[in-house]
Amino acid sequence: MKSIPRFGRGSARVLPTHRDQGLEIILLEKGALNWHVEGRVERVTAGSVYFSLPWQEHGSVDEFEPGHYWHWVQIGLDGGLRRPRETFGFHPAFGIGPAEARRISGLLTRSGRHCYPATPRMRWLLPVVVEELAHPGAHSPGYCHALVRLAVFELVRSIEAGPAEGAAAASERRVADFIGRLRERSAETWALEHMADQCGLGRSRFATLCRRLTGDSPLVLVNRLRIDRAKRALKETEASVTDIALACGFNSSQYFARVFRHFTGLDARGYRQRHRPGR
């Protein structure tokens, strides 16, 4: 339908720079991505909502791999939208009047960022929108239009919400900072208690915040970062698979092989062959 040209859920190995047919709203349920709009890169973590406008080129900076999971919908807009506009209208099916459309579109076009923490309602709502569109119920399409209208307003709430305050926010920042450092230190030996100590938190609290920020448990995150290192080494060096496995923190090539296939869907040699220059 013209009001909702495209929608979906899942993940993709590669998502090159592209434009969409409307306002796109993406909820990242699991994983973390480096995503750009018009060349400006933002880190998108699990529990974030991300938007782009139809004239904005956007896409992944890095290769996607299995383990990321998102829900997304493109929302039909009014008028010529291949060139930047300061304000725009929404498809009439959503019932968003001109004054409200000007307020919302002005907020979106002036926003300096495209990624925001999703509200609790948005984390519930966007999967429901996609499910209903994929399997229309008795009240569709009117029901779908009502849900998408709510998603637009929840996006606005996500943008307008001020930063979290207090001890909870400070704890989350410490975990986020630690995760940033962990990318370079993933080859070291890490236990849950050790990671939690680095953040001055108990194990349960640390694990909860880690999952909130990345979509992964702490130990799964360590393996994901180790596999990221291994992928770079497979593409950029001629080191043996066993040497790469040990250098990335795995105790055995057999365990490395299982984990590598889990995250990439390929064995290490197949991955290296696929990514050889000139292929």
Q: List pLDDT tens digits, range 117-136.
A: 888 899 999 999 999 999 88
Whether 150 maps to a domain, the answer reads yes
Distance CA 248, CA 67 (A): 19
Whether 186 maps to a domain, the answer reads yes
Parent domain of 63? 7-160
On whether both 29 and 87 belong to a single domain, the answer is: yes
Tokens of 163: 């930063």
CA distances from 89 to 39, 50, 115, 138, 214 (A): 26, 20, 22, 28, 34
Whether 100 maps to a domain, the answer reads yes
Question: Backbone phi, then psi, for 66, in 5-degree steps?
Answer: -55, 145
On whether both 63 and 200 belong to a single domain, the answer is: no
Q: List pLDDT tens digits, range 238-252.
A: 999 999 999 999 999
Q: How many residues does the chain have?
A: 279
Give mean pLDDT, residues 85-90: 92
Tokens of 211: 């999952």
Residue 210's Cβ-side half-sphere holds a number of Cα atoms within 13 Å equal to 23
Model pTM greater than 0.85?
Answer: no
On whether both 146 and 219 belong to a single domain, the answer is: no
Stated as kind and residue range, the H or E segment containing 63 is none
Count of the separate structural domains present in the chain? 2
